[in-house]
Amino acid sequence: MPFDAYCQEVIFAPLGMKNSVFGVPPERASRFAAIYHPGPDGQLLAGDGRSDGDLYAHFTGHPFGGVGLSTTAQDYLRFAQMLLNGGRLGGARILSRKTVELMRVHHLAPEATPVAPGLGYGLGVGVVTDPAQFKRLSSAGQFFWSGYATTAMFVDPKEQMVALLFAQYLPEDFRFIDNWSALVYQAIDD
């Protein structure tokens, strides 16, 4: 089964993700958001995000597992909520609870050098192993992923929280993502 058909049948349709596609299908091109970049005087300039020079346009004819999937905030929220719920959303079970638990456990060998102290890698996601070492407001066990154009998602099982960011900005602005994440945690009030 082709990868895009598999994703549609096994993940997108059961989760009600109606706007998740690979590449930039011509019939949906007008719905894609502009991608912004800094201009010569520091002002933001919009690119069309749909031209042949755009990264996603190159993957329209051939879906890949690691790049080229486009989605809406609502669809991505449904996927992230499924992860927070232990693999289930509504009546659809996409992953077993134990599989999601395994995904969010650090799997690198002890001698492997992490990208940052307090950060590990699970199965397909980054994992916060120690918030103090990571130097970011978070919870141990938070798992996350970043996408193209300063987009990010994290799931925090301890706080029962999902957060999504879609900045549509290049080059990737990881400082912006760090600040956004801090603001999300600072807003917790209970």
Determine contact, residues 154/143, Cβ cutoff 8 Å. Answer: yes
Distances (CA, A) of 19 to 5, 37, 51, 69, 150: 14, 25, 20, 10, 20
List the domain boundaries for the chain: 104-190
Q: Which residues pair with 155 in a beta bridge?
A: 143, 162
pTM of the full structure: 0.90
How high is the pLDDT of residue 177? Answer: 95
Residue 134 structure tokens? 């990571």
Instruction: State which amino acid sits at residue 123.
Output: L
| Cα R_g (the chain), whole angstroms | 18
CA contacts within 13 A on the Cβ side of 41:
1
How high is the pLDDT of residue 52? Answer: 40
How high is the pLDDT of residue 152? Answer: 96
Determine contact, residues 46/36, Cβ cutoff 8 Å. Answer: yes
Residue (of 23, 13, 27) closest to 62 by Cα position:
23
Element (H, E) at 180: helix 174-186
Per-residue pLDDT of the chain (190 residues; tens, 9 = 90+): 999 999 999 999 999 999 999 888 888 888 888 889 888 888 998 875 444 445 556 667 778 776 788 899 999 999 999 999 999 999 999 999 999 999 999 999 988 877 889 999 999 999 999 999 999 999 999 999 998 889 999 999 999 999 999 999 988 999 999 999 999 999 998 8
Question: Cα–chain-centroid distance for residue 98?
Answer: 21
Q: What span, in angstroms and rounded, lies between the C-alpha atoms of 118 and 141?
A: 11
Determine contact, residues 46/38, Cβ cutoff 8 Å. Answer: no
How high is the pLDDT of residue 49? Answer: 45
